């Protein structure tokens, strides 16, 4: 009997459930914004606070990697991944027909609908909102529009203004190339010239050198991105790449005038009714920390905190994930407890 009980317990843990049915493990399409959108929910105890993660890209769905990336977090939180409109399995189900609806406003409203669904589905008063890179755009917009839905906003790789971020990143990469006396890089970057650019073809030329210098100055992202086997088939991988390309081309546009290029978060206003936390890589060449800190300093919020993580670039390092986890445990989770 003991062996049978042990096997049963292991099966439950592997399936993502806590003993006595307290946990939750759900994968589903949810009607959001008039279309089915993919949502996954993981947690060991339904009583725990809920974190809604907003992935980057646009189009880089995080659900295939989330179980390894946030391993252990589900003991303290219920973790929700959402494949946004035009991304991941949401794109696979709906296809390119969603393109006319992929606006900043619609995507923000989608996120709010997801939060409202989670409140009702999981029986919560509010949830915790986390956004990284492109997801930080949606996160700030959602926090600004509907503070009643959230305990706090936690941003990583925080975007501020698309044009300002791009210009700051270009200047930093060029300075690094000059400091390194890397003439091929300097020649290539000066040939491109500083942004703004009017052709999407310029981006990969710049991105080549940005990625090279990001790797030089930051710790390589850890190998936590182990893909969930359910997303690992060649068909699923091809569909994910198609979604990524589709979202990139739509949000950037052939002349770099798509919706993403219009992002200007300070223009939304700087007063927030919920706590704002930003955890930023010190060596981020895409969303540079100086712009993120200046934006953070301009914000008015009930509580706020800015954490700079050394040797971390745009992609999350183990140190950044640890800092974010500690922050949410120590400063955000108590807000949910107080609310209850």
Domain extents for the chain? 17-162+224-339
| Residue 334 Cα distances to 2, 76, 152, 316, 337, angstroms | 38, 12, 11, 24, 5
pLDDT at 17: 43
Which of 214-228, 290-304, 311-325 is least confident? 214-228
Superfamily, domain 17-162+224-339: Alpha/Beta hydrolase fold, catalytic domain (3.40.50.1820)
Q: Residue 3: pLDDT above 60?
A: no
d(CA 241, CA 191) in angstroms, rounded, equals 30
Q: What is the pLDDT of residues 277-289, one digit of tens each?
A: 999 999 999 999 9
pLDDT band with cut points at 50, 70 and 90 for residue 225: low
d(CA 168, CA 131) in angstroms, rounded, equals 21
Decide the pairing of beta strands 35-43 and 78-82: antiparallel
pLDDT at 221: 79
Mean pLDDT in residue range 153-173? 98
pLDDT at 178: 98
Decide the pairing of beta strands 150-156 and 276-281: parallel
Q: Residue 22: pLDDT above 50?
A: yes
pLDDT at 336: 87
Confidence (pTM): 0.92
pLDDT band with cut points at 50, 70 and 90 for residue 21: low
Encoding tokens for residue 157? 């790789």
């Amino acid at each position: 009997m003991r062996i049978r009980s042990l096997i049963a317990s292991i099966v439950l843990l592997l399936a993502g459930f806590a003993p006595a049915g307290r946990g939750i493990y759900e994968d589903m399409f949810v009607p959001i914004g008039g279309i089915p959108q993919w949502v996954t929910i993981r947690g060991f105890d339904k009583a725990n606070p809920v974190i809604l993660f907003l992935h980057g890209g646009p189009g880089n769905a995080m659900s295939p990697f989330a179980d390894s990336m946030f391993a252990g977090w589900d003991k303290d939180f219920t973790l929700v991944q959402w494949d946004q409109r035009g991304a991941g399995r949401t794109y696979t189900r709906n296809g390119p027909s969603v393109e006319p609806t992929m606006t900043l406003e619609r995507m923000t409203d989608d996120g709010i609908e997801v939060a409202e669904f989670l409140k009702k589905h999981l029986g919560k008063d509010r949830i915790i909102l986390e956004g990284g890179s492109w997801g930080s755009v949606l996160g700030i917009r959602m926090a600004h529009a509907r503070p009643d839905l959230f305990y706090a906003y936690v941003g990583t790789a925080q975007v501020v203004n698309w044009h300002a971020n791009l210009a700051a990143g270009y200047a930093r990469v060029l300075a690094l190339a000059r400091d390194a006396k890397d003439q091929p890089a300097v020649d290539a970057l000066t040939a491109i010239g500083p942004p703004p650019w009017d052709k999407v073809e310029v981006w990969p030329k710049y991105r080549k050198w940005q990625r090279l210098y990001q790797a030089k100055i930051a710790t390589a992202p850890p190998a936590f991105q182990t893909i969930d086997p359910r997303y690992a088939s060649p068909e699923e991988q091809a569909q994910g790449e198609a979604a990524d390309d589709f979202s990139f081309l739509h949000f950037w546009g052939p002349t770099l005038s798509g919706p993403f290029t219009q992002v200007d978060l300070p223009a939304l206003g700087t007063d927030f009714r919920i706590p704002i936390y930003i955890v930023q890589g010190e060596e981020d060449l895409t969303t540079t920390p100086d712009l993120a800190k200046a934006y953070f300093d301009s914000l008015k919020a009930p509580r706020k905190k800015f954490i700079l993580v050394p040797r971390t670039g745009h992609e999350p390092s183990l140190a950044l994930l640890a800092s974010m986890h500690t922050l949410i445990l120590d400063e955000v989770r108590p807000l949910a407890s107080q609310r209850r």
